[in-house]
Structure formats: C-alpha cells, structure tokens
Structure 1
Amino acid sequence: MDQDFYDAVDLFAGPGGWDVAARSLGLRTRGIEKDHAACQTRRAAGLPTYEGDVRDFDPIEFLGVPGFIASPPCQTFSVAGKGAGRKALDLVLIGIKSLEARQAVDTSAFIDERTALILEPLRWMLAVLDVGQPFEWAAFEQVPTALPVWEAVAGVLRREGYSVVTGNLDAVEFGAPQTRSRAILIARRSGVAALPEPTHRPFRKGGAQHAGEPELLPWVSMAEALGWPPGLVGFPRLADPGAQVITIGGTDYRARDLRHADQPSFTVTEKARSWQRWPSTDGDAEPVRVTVEEAAALQSFPAGHPWTGSRSKVFQQVGNAIPPVLARAILTAATSS
C-alpha cells in the first residue's frame, strides 16, 4: 500500500479525532474505518482513509510506517453498555497471552464479537515486529474499564523491547469543555514513554473554576466554548421521590442529569442527540436542543468539521471520537524526542 508518505496508521479511525490532532502537529496519518458514514466524514475533511474492517487488512502491508494509533470500539466495555467486554475480561487476557505466544485467538468464545477487537492493536504490533520492522511508537485509547487490558498489553510490549506507560486521562484537563476519562497506552521503541502532563485544572463538582493548582489553566466551561448564556444542559428526567432536584419552570428534574452551562459538560456520547439546554430556569424557559456542531465543539473538534450522514449517525461519530485536544497531547508525548 502507498504508506511511504505518511507517519502513522490509525485503526478504528472514526471521523478523525486522532487525525485532526495529528495534522495540527504536522503528522500525516492514514485511517482504517469500517463505518461508511464516518469514512465520508473523513474524506470530506481531507483525511486519507481505507474503508473496511481492520481484521481484513494485513499489518505487513504497512511496514515502514513509524507510528501506530488505535481506538477499538468501546461499547462492550463501556459502563453505559451491557458490559459484555467487562464480563469477558478474562477471555481477553487469555487472548493477549495467546498472541504473545504467537498462537491464534479463539474469538468464538466471545459473546459479542466486538469485544475481541481490542486485541487487534497488539496483533498488529507483534506482526510487524516479528518481521523486523516494528512501529516506533504507538498510542491507544479506550474507556477506563479497559485499563486492565492495556496494562496486560503493556507487559507484552515491554518484553518485546518497548518503553510503555498506561493510565487514565481526563479530556477536561487538556482543555476540552467536558469531563471524559479514557484509558491510554503509549509505547516507544526509543526514549522513555510518559503520559502527557495536564494543562488545565481538574473539574471537581462544586469547585471553583479558578481555584486549585496555580500552574494550570482553569478548566473550560460549555458557556466559554460555545458562547452560551447561563442556564442548564443535559437530558432532563422527572425527579424520583427523595432525589436531589433542579426546578425548571415549576417542574422538578433529577439534578444528576443536568449541569450548569458555566461547567464542563458530561461525557459526550451519541445520546447527546437528546440533550437540551435552558438559557434560564424561570417559568418562561424554553429548552433548545443541542446541535451536532455544538456537541462536536464540546469534543473540541474545530468548527466546520464536515460531518456526514444521518443525524443519529453523526451524533454516533461525535460521541465515539477521541477529543482532538486530548489526542494532540497524547501524540506529542508519544513522538517527542
């Protein structure tokens, strides 16, 4: 394949969170993505793309590419999902041992086939390493519940000569106007792998924006990022008896489902298509539905990113992506000399 002109291959590339960040750093990437709508978005954004299932590509065809990025699907590991990945954690760890021993993985044991996709990054790295042309650096991302998988993968990569670090990072600590924790792995053939240092203060419920670590910038609120007036944002549900409530126009809603616009948002997922905001909370307040462009801004995508597909497909793309500001910090740590 025509890999000689780019710096990294991006598995499960989605609409381009990693790639937008890489481009801002002068890194050329080529993504592999199965979802057709996400591929259309990528192409409209000028991001080189192979459309297809990563399992159908031969890693050997990518020899000589120095960098490797992967964000395998997280639905089965997500706290919000049914948890097939968490229940199958033992099977995943067995699969990692099989790959290290250069043995085939029996994916038929997984109830949800998507769970096995988290093994693909290690399979790719070992495949190119075994022919003597390893990736020089790698960066992986998943939901926090997948951190034990990255830790097990890190053990394999260390035994293969990589310096590796793992941990959870929150996008709000890198300038995104949302709280979004993700499990990260960075591996390097040369130098010492290290997670990026936060640039912004962590968001603490009830904590003041300008209080805390003086060497860090204040966290960014939804209002700052989007120019919203004071008000509330979220998916309103009527309050249960005894629950903490927020009253809007005389109606009590569950407080845990709403945040003030002068705070970072909840983690943006595809369910953000149902988010509403109230510019005020008095009796005349009328909710306004959060738009795709606003959700993308909460993810830190640049204005004008050319989202393509149906409304539900676009919100799915936005929710599944890594925030570019977080990706930029991770890529800088992975590639800095």
Structure 2
Amino acid sequence: MRTLPPAVATAVHVATLARKNQMPIPAKVLAVLDTAAAPFPGRWLLDPLPGDPIRIVELFAGPGGWSEGLATVLGLAVDAVGFDISKDACATARAAGHHRVCVDITTLDPEHYALRHTAGLIVSPPCPSFSPGGNHSGQEQANIDVLCRVLAQTSEAGGFLPGTELDDWCEGCDTCDELGYHDGFAPRSGATWDELRAQLAPLTDARIGLMAELLFWAFGLQAAGAPLEFIAMEQSSRLPEQILDDIRLELRGGQEEGEWFWTAQGILEASQFGLASRRERVFFIATRFRRALPDNTTLGARVTMMAEALEWDEGERINTRGVRPVDPKTGRAKGGNEFSADKPSNCLTGKARTWKRVRDGLRLTIQEAGLLVGFRRSYPWQGSRTSAFQQAADVVSPIVAAAVIASLMGIPWMPQTLDYLEHLYRLNDYLDPEDLDPEDYDTAA
C-alpha cells in the first residue's frame, strides 16, 4: 500500500483530529485503521505528534531480548513492534508486554504505507546456518555467492544513490533533473523485494537468505519515505566477513559514499557486560551520525559467576551431556561434559535443558536459564521446556541489547545497565577476570 483509499484517508483524518484534541479515537475508526494497516498497527497510519515515541521495527524479534533492553534496562518509551514466525516466542514476548506479530517476515512489504515514519530497524536473523553448533551451510562459498549477488542489488532496487556522486561531473542537465539523479536517489532498478527474495532459491538452507532481509527493509523503508535513523543487526560471531562487507558497502550507496555515513561492526561477548553466561555475537550498526559499538571495558570488568547469579554455593559443577567415558589421563569425562559454576556459564544452546547440577542431579530450570542470559526471574517463558530453552538460547541478551541501542542513540547506558545487573543478580562482591581462564569454556553457540 503506497497510497490510502478514500475511506481510510477519512479515518486517518478523524483519528488525527481526535488525537490533537486529546480525545479517544472512535472504535469504528480504529477498526478501519487496523484493517488497512494489517499486519502493522493501525496507529502507524497516523503521522506522529510532537512528543510521540519513535517507531521501531524489530525483525526476527523472538521472545524479547531487544525489547527488554529498550523497555526494562534502559526504560525508554518507544513504539516498537516485533515480527517473528515462532508462535511460542511471540507468546513469550506478548506475555511480557511487548508487541508481537507472528508472521513469516518474507511475506511482508517493507514499503507499506504504515511504515513511513519508522526511525529504527533492528534485525536478528536466525544463526544456525553460520554458528558452530549449526550445519555450517552458511560457510559454504556457493551459498555465500548466492546471498551476496542478491545483496549487491538492494541499493539499486531501492533507488539509493547519493546525488553528490554525480554532481562532480554533471551540473544538472535536463535529463538528470527529469530522472531525479540530483535529488539524492537514483531511478530504481525495477527489481521488487519479492523478486530479489526469489533469487535466493538456490541456497541449500533458506535461513541463509534471511540475512538479506536486513537490506530489503533498510532500503524498502527508505523508499517508503521513513526517516530511518539507525539500524542494528546481531548474528553468529562466525558470520563470514564477505557478507558483512557487502552489507556495509550497500548501505553506503554501493560506492562508499552513501547517505549512511557511519557503519561499525564487532564481536561482543556477553559476560564482559556482566552476564552470568558466555556468548559471542557479531553486532553491526549503521547510523546517520558517527556512532561506535559500546566499550564493555568501561563497566569496570564486572564478572558474574553462574553460581552467584543462581544463588548456589561455591564449588558446584554442571553436567551438560550425561554420563560419558572418563579419560584415564585427566580423570575427567571425555567430551568436556562438565564445567564449574564458579565462573560465567558456558554459552547456552537449546540443549541446556539437559544441564544438571552434579552434586544432586537437579536440572536447570527455564527461569535459571533466563537469568543466565539476562532476563528477570519473573520473565513469562511460554511453550514446552524444549521450546523455552531454545528461545533463551537464541535470544539477544537484554543487557547487551541495551548497550548497543543506547550507543546508537547517543544516550548513556552504563548506569542503567549496572543498576539492572545489581537487581538481577543481587550482586555484592567483584570477581577479578584475571582469575579466569578464557579457554576453559564455550562462548559460541
């Protein structure tokens, strides 16, 4: 939808007048707006009024990692809507108070009229194709080539080209003016987002192609007229550098001179932000202003032990794989199926549902798993035990999410993060990170 039918335009006018006069929007009008905007919220058809929170789209939003980072850790008032295909993850987020639409993201139109005031885009595509614990199909060069060929077409599909690139050799002839070359946007190539999605069909794992949604939505929103201010993406730390390079290149207009002045990328490790579990993820940001990823060293190197977070006694050990043969040389089980709880835990995967405390065989609960990745004890995980643990394993930690988003928006994040950690883990003493062996645990899922 690029323009509004007369009946919807009338509903928008009535709703806008009601808002300006601080009156409730009539139910019949709301129904018209919701139907016209579906699956996006009907209120997004209305122009924002002064003082309204910024609108943020979350793709592959899951159970609420980014959402909790925004709302609970930072306490920001934003109008964020998340989209995810997992019914259980959406149910978890909704139970926690976050807006979710359960839908296949590849069926949505990033240029929908309701999205024209979007200010932020957050994307966390599924990572099994790239992560060490997955099938590694995302590391195969043939698949990388298919994906990158599509990525390379996105800026032209969105009509993105800085006018200054042509101003150097053309002062504004009639043809260029007619085509709009000097308006900051080149004529669009004519390729639709669905046509580009179709070009991903040769991939051996369809999840690899979901990486392209980052650019489909970035340029689609821009083509819809959205005042997009920032983009944040999270993915497996093993995401091939070629893919990141091509994303950065397209966001800078395909010629390194695009409107997205600044991009940055880097691997952030969750326990270095005070989390009681290890997890390495690559984060990529693009902003209209010069911004950098958060520097975790400024937190004072606070390290939270698993036992400390779960209020266990010192000396506890965790069994991750059941009974396994013992290596006669080391006296330990083969396969590394135990680790000490007197440090941040290994990176959680869906198999963390089988973790047991060695002393008494007590299984890790989903509430404890949530704590380890930074969620409050009362977080309302939904679905079966298997589903809930998979959600906790896949999610972006709210604490890391808060640090990244605050850095993007140019606002403080350390005071809020430290306060959240204090209440989350009931912290007292500090553990010197030099006492830990960084090679003694798993950090990547």
- TM band (smaller chain): 0.7 to 0.9
What is the aligned-residue identity percentage?
Answer: 30
Match in the other structure for 1:249: none
**Is residue 317 of structure 2 the alignment partner of residue 232 of structure 1?**
yes
SS at 2:318 equivalent = strand
Counterpart AA for 1:36: K
Q: Partners of 2:331 and 2:133 in 1: how far apart?
A: 22
Match in the other structure for 1:194: 292
Match in the other structure for 1:155: 249
Does the 8 Å contact 1:39/1:51 carry over to 2? yes
Counterpart AA for 2:310: L
**Is residue 191 of structure 2 the alignment partner of residue 97 of structure 1?**
no
Aligned ranges 1:169-318 → 2 under 5 Å:
169-189=268-288, 191-199=289-297, 216-229=300-313, 230-236=315-321, 237-239=323-325, 241=327, 244-246=330-332, 253-254=333-334, 256-278=336-358, 285-318=359-392
Displacement, 1:136?
A: 0.7
Displacement, 1:101?
A: 3.5
* Cα gap change, 1:199 to 1:305, in 2 (>3 Å): farther
Structure 2 segments unaligned to the other structure (5+ residues): 1-36, 38-42, 158-190, 412-445
Displacement, 1:134?
A: 4.5
Of the structure 1 ranges 89-98 and 315-324, higher mean CA displacement relative to structure 2 is found in 89-98
Counterpart AA for 1:126: F
Structure 1 segments unaligned to the other structure (5+ residues): 201-214, 247-252, 279-284
Q: Partners of 1:178 and 1:223 in 2: how far apart?
A: 11
Does the 8 Å contact 1:154/1:166 carry over to 2? no
Displacement, 1:154?
A: 1.4
C-alpha distance after superposition, 1:182-201 (max 9, x if no partner):
01001111x2121100047x
Does the 8 Å contact 2:264/2:284 carry over to 1? yes
TM-score normalised by L of structure 2: 0.66
User: Going by fraction, where is helix more abundant, 1 or 2?
Assistant: 2
C-alpha distance after superposition, 1:25-67 (max 9, x if no partner):
2142210011111111111111011110111221123121111
The number of equivalent residue pairs is 310
Identify the match of residue 46 of structure 1 among 80, 92, 97: 97
C-alpha distance after superposition, 1:111-150 (max 9, x if no partner):
1111101110111001122344342101100001115223
Counterpart AA for 1:232: R
Q: Partners of 2:153 and 2:319 in 1: how far apart?
A: 44
Match in the other structure for 1:164: 263
**RMSD, aligned α-carbons:** 1.9
Match in the other structure for 1:110: 203
Query: Which is higher, the Rg of structure 1 or of structure 2?
Result: 2
Q: Partners of 1:325 and 1:115 in 2: how far apart?
A: 27
Q: Partners of 1:146 and 1:232 in 2: how far apart?
A: 32
Does the 8 Å contact 2:116/2:225 carry over to 1? no
C-alpha distance after superposition, 1:256-297 (max 9, x if no partner):
33221111011111111011112xxxxxx3221111111110
